[in-house]
Amino acid sequence: MASLLVLALGDARALTADEVNRAGRPVSTKGKMTRPSASIVKAQTLLARQGVSPGEIDGLDGDRYRKAVAQFRRRENLGDGDGIDAATWRALLGDASADIVSDYRVLKEDVKSRFSRHIPHDYARQARLKQLGYRTPHEMFAERFRMSEGLLRTLNPGARYRKRDETLHVVAAGRTPPAAEARLVEADRTNGVVRALDAAGRPFAIYPATIGSAATPSPEGEYQVVRVVRNPTYHYDPVKNFQQGRNKRRLVIARGPNNPVGTVWIELSKPTFGIHGTPEPSRIGKTSSHGCVRLTNWDAEELAQLVKPGTTVRFVE
């Protein structure tokens, strides 16, 4: 049975210009939302389609959502601010976009997927595992469709997720990969975003990011992409990097989306530093990193298609 949220998202007027422009206020009141809003799901989906990632699409009014709105408005010369007014809604093609939810039929390959149901926090224990796959089917489908697990469950009450030919309601946030090649990648520490810029200097892809920390800051200046490794192993070295817990020896941690660097490693010319995915997409922009640039797995995978060895990565304030 479809949830009320699915029915609202199926309505072309799930979010209208009148709603977003009412008294010049944003769609919702920041900090007071606990359940996904159809309005914000639609706005987040449209932002993702325009190349401004909100991170996980969760339907909640939070920092990543408002940051994405602010970055979109800046890119489109719509003025400062993090709310969606009528002009921003038009630029997002809001009134012309109704296909926010799509149906996905669970395949035989999905049913056969193997899961790593318990992944310890300790790296030494992780190094004993043969893979660091998804923990559950919910996590697998949520990440595949750029959603939070909470939103996936809300859209699919009573779903089993492991039944062949079962229909799941998912958000349609995917877009055709940009044809442009990134001439420059900016890692903006102040705003907590990564931007891919084209030859004209226009950001055509923007992602929320975790960039270093006070204890282990990200580097300064410009570096080059050395290589892109998809589905990487993670090489832990407490001498060159940081020490986790009591682990004082080098370790190799197996591949998988729950690997410490996720599904992609974009190595930089600064030794031990890179741009990579994460096993915890909900924490992007909310926690620190050990100096590297951390994106959601799906954003890191898209960025990996836009860069090549030699692409410049500039760290900016």
pLDDT at res. 97:
83
Structure tokens at 196: 């891919």
pLDDT at res. 149:
96
Structure tokens at 42: 């639609």
**Where do the H-state alpha helices sit in the chain?**
4-9, 17-21, 38-49, 63-75, 86-91, 108-111, 123-126, 137-144, 149-155, 297-306
pLDDT at res. 137:
97
290 labelled catalytic: no
* pTM of the predicted model as reported, rounded to 2 decimal places: 0.90
Which is the catalytic residue, given 121, 138, 235, 276?
276
Can you tell me whether residue 202 is helix, strand or coil?
coil
pLDDT in tens, 67-104: 999 999 999 999 999 999 999 999 999 988 878 999 99
pLDDT in tens, the chain (317 residues): 556 676 566 554 445 545 544 423 344 444 455 789 999 999 999 999 999 999 999 999 999 999 999 999 999 999 999 999 999 999 999 988 878 999 999 999 999 999 998 999 999 999 999 999 999 999 999 999 999 999 999 999 999 999 999 999 999 998 887 888 999 999 999 999 999 999 999 999 999 999 987 667 788 999 999 999 999 999 998 888 788 888 889 999 999 999 999 999 999 999 989 999 999 999 998 776 667 999 999 999 999 999 999 999 999 98
pLDDT at res. 248:
87
**272: which DSSP letter?**
T
Which is the catalytic residue, given 169, 235, 290, 292?
292
Q: Residue 100 carries which side chain, given as an amino acid letter?
A: I
pLDDT at res. 96:
85
Structure tokens at 287: 């926690």
Cβ contacts of residue 311 below 8 Å, gap of 6+? 182, 183, 184, 185, 224, 225
292 labelled catalytic: yes
